[in-house]
Chains A and B, each alone.
Chain A
């Protein structure tokens, strides 16, 4: 249902409009008609929709309008000194040291000194800093920016387009297979609370095969408000393995939107690992545009205190013979809340679609909560679609079995929790990443053991 233009605006809603007005002349690409056109259209969309709230079905469990009372000023890159030690501190050593082609963005700015740009170029990947590229976008970027599985009904995405200031754009040459992951690191600020709006664009040309890891951390900033968008175009017979690791401090707001489009006989395997931030919204819009393709979007989240993690997926089977799989596993302690909304749309004519999703949560306290809402909209008749959801406590019989073997209770519980999320980690092909997730969850659990 289309909502009427909003008459009343909250303080935060107005603050974003003011932020745009104040910054528009200084935003990257302000003098480029293509970029300023994109931004103007996006801010109009935002002005029409306002911030999403609980009466919008897709935001039913995450009332952003109510939660967001203060909008922090837009962060601008000031050249914060960052070294390896800061990276390890912000991301956890296992993540920072991941064998990869690393691209580090500090406050949106692609930092040549911390990045392996030349290695990536030599391997067959074009790399540009988005902030620079927006000033005069190359034609290949113009062809995709804002055009990958586009939407005009998402105010968070619209705000990102209007205000994006940094990030990286990558194009993988046809047929190139990379020997190690591309690691996009986004680190933000020290000091005063701020907003950061970044976008990464990844184009995998036909027949190429890459792993992209995106990690988000902070350098001790308080109250970071992040709006991050990643556009991924998976060309015909191309494959992208995509991983996101989020760890930003317990008062951060993390809004993430992935826009994914797959060509024919393509493959997309994604994994989201969420452990930090006060409020996390992970939304993924994926669309099959070519036949014979497959995707797997899975993830794990470990939340405690009053943390909130919302995973909202929309997978569109627009063409026949495609397969989609989703598996999300969450561990919720304290008063934490997990949300999973998974929607699969099978268009008329998208025969031989095979779609399955599963979400499960382990509740470690009486006050933790998990809301799961699968939705199937099927307009074709020759399809196989299914979904499932579980939520429960640690199985006391399993616990007793471990204790009876001499494993103390707290350690036995930790082992069972790790086993629970470990099932989701199995979906990640890269062993280094799998180990990094296991190490991060062990660290999370060690807090419980103390």
Chain B
């Protein structure tokens, strides 16, 4: 479903991804772990199409198409969804207006009819309930004054509404207490399906207690240094990332390539 080959990416003239390979089949959940600075968030942003992330070599193929040639909104329409580590606050845009604009933009791009107001409201209420989101919250400006947990739940709500085929979760557990992690994880698990792939990016193993991955990849210095089953995450919890160059952030050390 998702095929990343020899991906090299520069940010501000510095090479962050240095030949990353990854294959994510439909229906599977893969975790991306790794020390700070290993390129995890860069991978997330490149998949979503953020500007200023310069791909110097390699390819990303999504359902047989060249993902890198698509504009960010086209990727969203093609089913790619990034749950942001730091969701943006937009004063002046009501959350509900934003959700509706996004849902209808994606539906339009997919050749589906726009949802009527009552249908849309029904859908939002149903999905919000699952994530324990107070409908009153949705009347407020997008993410403005939301707690960390509210912001992350709002991300998962968007994911549920847009029904993507590829979910990329960037450090979705960061800054959340354990109860909030559980609610978010339940929301994510509810979206697991045979035709949906997920990439769960996390520094800590904690989130993977709740979202159990099919595969775990450890990123180090811009490449996948090791891959394994769910047990690899537990192993890392024990040993830490020392083996993968935690102390050498931002430096091109090759010790991780082992």
Contact = CB atoms under 8 A, between A and B. Distances in A.
B73 A403 contact: yes
Nearest to A424: B92
Contacts of A401: 84, 87-88, 90
B50 interface: yes
Contact of B92 (A404, A405, A406, A420): A420
A272 B132 CA distance: 42
Given A396-B51, A403-B49, A411-B105, 12 more contacts: A403-B71, A404-B49, A405-B105, A406-B76, A406-B162, A407-B101, A408-B71, A409-B72, A415-B93, A415-B101, A419-B91, A419-B93
A416 interface: yes
Contacts of B109: 406
A412 interface: yes
Interface string A385-423: 000000000001110111111111101100110111011
Contacts of B91: 419, 423
Contact of A405 (B50, B51, B71, B162): B162
A403 B162 CA distance: 13
A406 B102 contact: yes
B16 interface: no
Nearest to A425: B92
Nearest to A423: B92
A415 to B, nearest CB: 6
Interface string B154-180: 000010001000000000000000000
B188 to A, nearest CB: 17
A207 B49 CA distance: 59
B51 A400 contact: yes
A313 B51 CA distance: 41
B106 interface: yes
B77 interface: yes
A97 to B, nearest CB: 23
A383 B123 CA distance: 52
Contacts of A403: 49, 71-73, 76
Contacts of A416: 90, 93
A299 to B, nearest CB: 16
Interface string B13-43: 0000000000000000000000000000000
5 contacts: A397-B88, A401-B87, A405-B102, A408-B105, A418-B92
B123 to A, nearest CB: 15
CB-CB nearest 7 A-B residue pairs: A419-B92, A406-B76, A406-B106, A403-B72, A405-B102, A401-B88, A422-B92
Given A400-B51, A419-B92, A407 B87 contact: no
A405 B93 contact: no
Contacts of A411: 101, 105
B116 to A, nearest CB: 19
Contact of B73 (A412, A415, A422, A423): A412
Contacts of A420: 92
A386 B158 CA distance: 40
A406 B51 contact: no
Nearest to A403: B72
A4 to B, nearest CB: 49
Contacts of B93: 415-416, 419
B48 interface: yes
A412 B73 CA distance: 10
B219 interface: no
Nearest to A395: B88
A407 B102 contact: yes
B82 interface: yes
B195 to A, nearest CB: 19
Contacts of A415: 93, 98, 101
A404 B72 contact: yes
A146 to B, nearest CB: 41
A422 B142 CA distance: 14
Interface in B62-96: 71-73, 75-77, 81-82, 84, 87-88, 90-93
Given A400-B50, A420-B92, A422-B92, A406 B84 contact: no
Given A396-B51, A400-B51, A400-B72, A407 B105 contact: yes
Contacts of B92: 418-420, 422-423
A323 B166 CA distance: 54
A334 B91 CA distance: 25
Interface string A142-159: 000000000000000000
Interface in B115-146: none
Interface centre among A403, A408, A412 (most CB of B within 10 A): A403
A419 B82 CA distance: 23
Interface centre among A407, A409, A411, A423 (most CB of B within 10 A): A407
A411 B108 CA distance: 13
Contacts of B73: 403-409, 412
